[in-house]
Structure 1
Amino acid sequence: MTGLVSRFALVALLAVSACDDKPPAKPAPANTVQKAPVPTVAAPPVSAAASPLGQAINAAAFDPAAVDPQARRNTLIRVQTLLDRAHFSPGVIDGRDGGNLKLAIQAFQKAHDLPTDGEISQALLAALAAADNGPVLVDYTITQSDVAGPFTPQLPKEDYEAMAREPAMNYHDIVEMLAERFHMDEALLRELNPGANFNQAGATIMVTAAGADTLPAKVDRIEIDKTLGQVRAFDETGAQVAVYPATVGSTERPAPSGEWAVRTLAPRPTYTYDPSRLTFGKPKEKLTIKAGPNNPVGSTWIDLTKDTYGIHGTPDPKLVNKRASHGCVRLTNWDATELGSAVKKGAKVIFMGTEARPA
Structure 2
Amino acid sequence: MARLWIPLLLLIGLAMPASAAELTADSVNAAELRNRPPAEDKMDPLAIRAEVLLDRAHVSPGEIDGRFGDNARKALAAFAAARGLSSGSNLTPELWDALRQDQAPAIVTYKITRDDVRGPFLKKLPRHMEDMKDLPRLGYTSPREALAEKFHMSEALLKALNPRSSFEHAGEEIAVANVMKPDETVPEITRLDIDKQAETVQAFDKDGNRVAMFPATVGSDDKPTPVGSFKVESIDANPNYRYNPDYKFKGVKARKPFDIKPGPNNPVGVYWIGLSIGQGYGIHGTAEPSKVGKTESHGCVRLTNWDATFLGQHLSKKAVVELR
TM range, normalised to the smaller chain? 0.7 to 0.9
One-letter amino acid of the structure 2 residue matched with residue 268 of structure 1? N
Provide closer, same or farther for how the CA distance between residues 103 and 273 of structure 1 changes in structure 2, counting only shifts above 3 A.
same
Greater relative contact order structure (CA < 8 Å, 6+ sep): 1
1:347 aligns with 2:319: yes
| Cα distance change on mapping 1:260 and 1:167 into 2, 3 Å | same
More helix by percentage: 2
Cα distance change on mapping 1:282 and 1:56 into 2, 3 Å: same
Q: Deviations over 1:73-116 (max 9, x none)?
A: 11100000010011000000011021111110000001111113
**Bigger Cα displacement from structure 2, 67-76 vs 103-112:** 67-76
Match of 1:208 among 141, 166, 177: 177
Q: CA deviation at 1:283?
A: 1.4
Q: 1:66·1:72 contact (CA, 8 Å) conserved in 2?
A: no
Range with greater deviation from structure 2 (208-217 or 61-70): 61-70
The answer on 1:317 being equivalent to 2:273 is: no
Secondary structure of residue in 2 paired with 1:323: coil
In the superposition, the TM-score normalised over structure 2's length comes to: 0.88
**Equivalent position to 1:171, from 127, 140, 144:** 140
Q: Distance in 2 between matches of 1:293 and 1:269?
A: 10
1:80 maps to amino acid = E
Q: Does the residue aligned with 1:178 lie in a helix, a strand or coil?
A: helix
Indicate which of 230, 244, 247 corresponds to 2:200. 230
Please give the root-mean-square deviation of Cα atoms over the aligned residues, in Å.
2.1
User: Which secondary structure does the structure 1 equivalent of 2:245 belong to?
Assistant: coil
Query: Structure 1: which amino acid aligns with 2:86?
Result: P
Q: Which residue of 2 aligns with 1:357?
A: none
- Give the gaps of 5 or more residues in structure 2: 1-21
Mapped partners of 1:139, 1:81: distance in 2: 14
Residue 155 of structure 1 and its aligned partner are, at CA, apart by 2.6
Of residues 26, 50, 59, the one that matches 1:88 is 59
Counterpart of 1:329 in structure 2 is: 301
The correspondence for 2:231, drawn from 246, 261, 282, is: 261
1:250 corresponds to which of 215, 220, 245: 220
Partner secondary structure for residue 188 of structure 1: helix
How many residues are aligned here?
Answer: 300
- Rounded to whole Å, the distance in 1 between the matches of 2:42 and 2:26 is 12
Alpha-carbon distance in 2 for matches of 1:151, 1:292: 11
| CA deviation vs aligned residue, 1:231-270 (integer Å, no higher than 9, x gap) | 0000000011100000000000000100001011010000
Contact 1:310 1:329 survives alignment (8 Å): yes
Whether the aligned pair in 2 keeps the contact of 1:60 and 1:71 (CA below 8 Å) is no
The question of whether the paired residues in 2 share the 8 Å contact of 1:87 and 1:211 is answered with no
Q: Which residue, 263, 271, 291 being the options, matches 2:241?
A: 271
Deviation at 1:329, TM superposition (A): 0.1
CA distance in 2, matches of 1:224, 1:335: 14
| Aligned equivalent of 1:104, options 70, 75, 80 | 75
- Is the CA contact (8 Å cut-off) linking 2:56 and 2:179 kept in structure 1? yes
CA deviations on 1:208-241 (whole Å, 9 max, x unpaired) are: 1114487611011000000100000000000111
* Unaligned runs of at least 5 residues, structure 1: 1-50, 353-359
Pairwise CA distance, 1:125: 1.8
- Give 1:239's aligned residue: 209
Distance 2:196 2:40 in 1: 33
- TM superposition score normalised by structure 1: 0.80
Shift of 1:68: 9.6
CA gap 1:179/1:310 in 2 versus in 1, 3 angstroms: same
Report the Cα offset of residue 52 of structure 1: 8.1
Matched, 1:61 2:29: no
Amino acid at match of 1:92: E
Cα separation, partners in 2 of 1:267 and 1:68, compared to 1, 3 Å: closer
Partner Cα distance (1:269, 1:66) in 2: 41
User: How far apart are residue 72 of structure 1 and its match?
Assistant: 7.9
1:77 paired with 2:48, answer: yes
Corresponding position: 1:305 with 2:276:
yes
Partner AA of 1:337 in structure 2:
T
The alpha-carbon distance between structure 1 residues 62 and 306, as it changes in their structure 2 partners (threshold 3 A), is same
Alignment check: 8 A CA contact 1:151 1:170 kept: yes
AA aligned to 1:134 is: A
Report whether the alignment pairs 1:286 with 2:252.
no
2:97 matched to 1:126? yes
Match runs of 1:23-34 below 5 Å: none
SS in structure 2 at match of 1:82 = helix
Q: SS of 2:323's equivalent?
A: strand
